Amino acid sequence: MPFYPGQGRATLTNAGQQVYIFGGSGQQATSPERIGTTAGVASIAYMLERQKAAFYPWGFAFEIWFTGAPGTFEVDIQGAELDIDTHYNNIGTAISTVNSNNVGRFDSGVTVWPKFVRLFVKTLTNDVSITAVLTR
């Protein structure tokens, strides 16, 4: 079973807002989190505000960065309608590459409609810290 510290603690993320995730206590992160090479670590989740106008862009983005080269890694983007660990499913394409500054990114399309979103570190071969920001 993956480690998920935030079950039932998701808070609302409004349009135009950014939040840092991977707080080990299930709260918003304030600094990079060292998860080591442990597989199966989920970030805390955030609820995406439902937009009131159908024409308004509904997308969201995740940006992650590591304190050093992460080695071989996969960070899955997951969504669910209930903030329960076993309800999360992968959406979109996982982040598995970074640029020369160890930064990777995911941008959702407008066809993805989960109520809650989180990141799931499936694999990480190097012992580095991770920081992630969700932009709504």
Min mean pLDDT across 4-8, 20-24, 74-78 is at: 4-8
Task: State residue 20's pLDDT score.
Answer: 79
Task: State residue 24's pLDDT score.
Answer: 47
| Residue closest to 12 by CA, chosen among 51, 64, 40 | 51
Task: State residue 60's pLDDT score.
Answer: 87
Q: What string of DSSP letters covers 85-130?
A: GGG-EE-SPPB----TTSEEEEE--TT---SEEEEEEEEE-S--EE
Q: DSSP letter at 7?
A: T
pTM greater than 0.75: yes
**Cα distance between residue 112 and residue 96, in whole Å:** 20
Residues 87-121 pLDDT 10s: 999 998 999 999 999 999 998 765 667 889 999 99
CATH class assigned to 11-135: mainly beta
φ/ψ of residue 95, rounded to 5: -85, 120
Residues 32-84 pLDDT 10s: 555 665 668 888 888 887 766 655 556 789 999 888 999 999 999 999 998 88
Domains of the chain, residue spans? 11-135
- Token pair recorded at residue 88: 């999360």
| Residue closest to 134 by CA, chosen among 50, 49, 52, 46 | 46
Question: Which residue has tokens 């500054």?
Answer: 101
